[in-house]
Structure 1
Amino acid sequence: MLNALNEQSPDKILMLMQAFKEDPRPVKIDLGVGVYKNANGQTPIMRAVKKAEQQWWEEETSKSYVNLAGDPEFSDMMIGLILGSSVARNSVAAIATPGGTGALRQAFELIQMASPEAKVFVSDPTWPNHLSILRHLGIETVSYRYFDSATGAVNFDGMMQDLAKVSKGDVVLLHGCCHNPTGANLNLTEWQTVVDLLNEIGAVPMIDIAYQGFGDGLEADAKGTRLVATSCPETLIAASCSKNFGIYRERTGILMAVSQDSSLRNLAQSNMTHLNRQNYSFPPDHGARLVTHVLRDDDLRADWQAELDDIRNGMLTLRQQLADELQRLSGSNRFGFIAQHRGMFSRLGLSSAQVEQIRADHAIYMVGDSRINIAGLNDESVPLLADAMIKVGA
């Protein structure tokens, strides 16, 4: 049987990580892997998370299963964090999942169960694993224009022209904030225009929100998602706790299905819980428990938000430093868009040849489409990246 399998293409980012690890040069910069790192290159455990873990170690009395949908209090806390009071709780079905990737997988399978003929429209570019999972499930995907490489901004006219081709019942996948891989976001006026089009057509929005708090703040980063959830008849939301709580290895995520018709909530909940049972039965609980502890305790929550603000502001400072240094070296503001982007990522607009030259000549590693992880920089490496970019003709 096993000899009938086909070799799978290796993940490009994982290959990049391995190449960086094997590079013997003493000064090298990793801007590829999508994990937050501080100025010392570490991914720290957040203070509030560490305290919550210590508290839970004292309180925990059993390692038994929770339930198929996960701990209800975790769902309540995450719904409150992402949606606030914008929708009634009884209109939201939710399941805990192994990370945001697990939430995406369950969402795509839910779409497949409910509407096998539905197409999923995906931004060009998008996080590569979106496309990988959709292909694996055999779901038809259609790309819509999103990023203008020349300006570093959203190509909103092209996006709307492509979304006009969506049919009733199709699904449009949107990034809630901090678009991965470009860093370019919709403004609220653009969000409203997208909502109006989807409602006119009868298409279903699905939002991947993996970086809430990394852009302009927890509340600001949720505005687009809340607008969609309150304006559209149905909305799917896949969320991750990996980044804003720094619990990557705990694999903590959630899938929500919001319906303006609250009578459909129980139906959605039943099917989502069924999907958990078919896939992994009971979702992991440790990370969800830590998130719940942090969000329900006023002191822990305040400390978490303060540290998250520091992380966000640090990345914004790095963005501005890089844009300023590139302006100084180039004599133009053509890289000003870097300071306008939000989240961990920006796409620099370099060719694959320039990316490879920067790796070969300067030991700076980034994804082939020139996506960089801003959090991989610090005060010392910003000038090195800017200098390398100018030297390769950026």
Structure 2
Amino acid sequence: MLSDLKPQAPDKILMLIEEFKADSRQGKIDLGVGVYKNPEGVTPVMRAVKAAEQRIWQTQTTKAYTSLAGEADFRDAMARMVLGELPADRLATLSSVGGTGAIRQALELARLANPGVHVHVSDPTWPNHLSILKFMGLPFTEYRYFDPETRGVDFEAMKADIAKAGRGDLVLLHGCCHNPTGANLTLAQWEELAQILEKSGAIPFIDLAYQGFGDGLDEDAAATRLIAARLPEVLIAASCSKNFGIYRERTGILMALADNGAAREMAQGSMAFLNRQTFSFPPDHGARIVSTILTDADLAADWRAELEDVRKGMLALREQLASELRNLSGSDRFDFIAHHRGMFSRLGATPEQVQKLKSDSAIYMVGDSRLNIAGLNRDTVPVLARAIVEAGI
């Protein structure tokens, strides 16, 4: 049996990580992996996370199972963080194995309801979106999103493509900090998008992986809250990896908003069923860290303060890089970097130019020229800016 398996295509980002590790050059810069790093190049454990873990260690008396849907305190706290007011009569929630697990369970839920469900995804999008869709055999269509000339959103093209979505189709949207481009819709554009979705009957599916990394914790949730208030059915996958810094704990949540109580009960039962078929009970440690923080005023305040420092640090790096590039190039063509939000920006470089950055300057980024702003610090920004200009980007 095992000899009949076929080789799978390796993940390009994971390959890049290994290539970076093997590079013996001094001063090499990793802008590929999508993980936050502080100026010392470390992904730190946040203060509130350490305090919450200490409290859990001191007070926890059992490691027994919680429930198929996960700890209720975690699900309620996360739903409030994302949605603000908790629409309990419409809301079904599910603890998942990271944000990726929430995406997978959302697609499984949609397929359970409609085996022929069609999914619309942005071009470009996080590569794992497409990988999961292909593996599941779900039909999908890419809608235009990124304008390679302006490095912003091609909103008119996006609207035209999403307007073609049919009733019951899923439209996968990045709630904030678009990955891989960093280019986001304005709230006014989200309003227009909501009108299109209302008219078509397509169901918005929001991937919210970076809440708190863009314009602020509540500001980054504003688009998701707008869509949730306007549309009768919405799916939301949220991750705790980035904003709580608990990447390896694999903590996420799926939220399903239904248009009535009966549908909400059906969704909740179906979501618990899907967890049972996949891994039974979800992991609890990361979820308990998050719920401990969000339900304690002092821990929550400290977490918000540290998250805000992270966000402002990335914004400062964006502004520094845009300024360095403006000075070196004598052009404002890189100003989009300061306007983008989140960890990523897409430079608009060719694969050959990306390869030149790697071979000539030991600067590693994904082949589509997505760079992780959080992989920089004040000292490496000028190095990157000089290499970008010398590569002819």
TM-score (norm: length of structure 1): 0.99
Alignment partner, residue 308 of structure 1: 307
- Identical-pair percentage: 60
Alignment partner, residue 246 of structure 2: 247
Alignment partner, residue 47 of structure 1: 47
Residue pair 2:344, 2:370 contacting (<8 A) in 1 also = yes
1:10-29 residue pairs with structure 2 within 5 A? 10-29=10-29
Residue pair 2:232, 2:258 contacting (<8 A) in 1 also = yes
Question: What are structure 1's unaligned runs of at least 5 residues?
Answer: none
Alignment partner, residue 190 of structure 1: 189
Question: Within 2, Cα distance between the matches of 1:79 and 1:167?
Answer: 28
2:145 is equivalent to residue 146 of structure 1? yes
Amino acid at match of 1:102: G
1:18-97 residue pairs with structure 2 within 5 A? 18-85=18-85, 87-97=86-96
Question: Within 1, Cα distance between the matches of 2:157 and 2:94?
Answer: 35
Question: Within 2, Cα distance between the matches of 1:348 and 1:216?
Answer: 21
Residue pair 2:89, 2:260 contacting (<8 A) in 1 also = no
Alignment partner, residue 330 of structure 2: 331
Question: Within 2, Cα distance between the matches of 1:39 and 1:289?
Answer: 29
Amino acid at match of 1:178: C
Deviation string 1:296-353 (CA, Å, 9 cap, x unpaired) is 1000000000000000000000000000000000011000000000000000111100
CA RMSD in angstroms comes to: 0.7
Residue pair 2:151, 2:183 contacting (<8 A) in 1 also = yes
Question: Within 2, Cα distance between the matches of 1:118 and 1:260?
Answer: 19
Question: Within 1, Cα distance between the matches of 2:41 and 2:251?
Answer: 23
Kindly state the Cα deviation for residue 27 of structure 1 after the two structures are TM-superposed. 1.1
Alignment partner, residue 99 of structure 1: 98
Deviation string 1:198-222 (CA, Å, 9 cap, x unpaired) is 1101100000000000000011000
Kindly state the Cα deviation for residue 164 of structure 1 after the two structures are TM-superposed. 1.8
Alignment partner, residue 267 of structure 2: 268
Deviation string 1:47-85 (CA, Å, 9 cap, x unpaired) is 001000000000111111111000011110000000001
Kindly state the Cα deviation for residue 260 of structure 1 after the two structures are TM-superposed. 2.8
Question: Within 1, Cα distance between the matches of 2:115 and 2:203?
Answer: 14
SS at match of 1:367: coil
Question: Within 1, Cα distance between the matches of 2:38 and 2:148?
Answer: 28
SS at match of 1:158: helix
Alignment partner, residue 157 of structure 1: 156
Amino acid at match of 1:42: V
Question: Within 1, Cα distance between the matches of 2:47 and 2:284?
Answer: 20
Deviation string 1:223-249 (CA, Å, 9 cap, x unpaired) is 000001110010000000000000000
Amino acid at match of 1:326: L
SS at match of 2:283: coil
Structure 1 segments of 4 or more deviating over 3 A?
A: none
Alignment partner, residue 201 of structure 2: 202
Aligned residues: 393
Alignment partner, residue 7 of structure 1: 7
Alignment partner, residue 342 of structure 1: 341
2:226 is equivalent to residue 227 of structure 1? yes
Kindly state the Cα deviation for residue 5 of structure 1 after the two structures are TM-superposed. 1.3
TM-score (norm: length of structure 2): 0.99
Kindly state the Cα deviation for residue 88 of structure 1 after the two structures are TM-superposed. 1.5
Residue pair 2:314, 2:343 contacting (<8 A) in 1 also = yes
Kindly state the Cα deviation for residue 263 of structure 1 after the two structures are TM-superposed. 2.5
Alignment partner, residue 292 of structure 1: 291
Residue pair 2:148, 2:348 contacting (<8 A) in 1 also = yes
Kindly state the Cα deviation for residue 118 of structure 1 after the two structures are TM-superposed. 1.6
Question: What are structure 2's unaligned runs of at least 5 residues?
Answer: none
SS at match of 1:328: helix
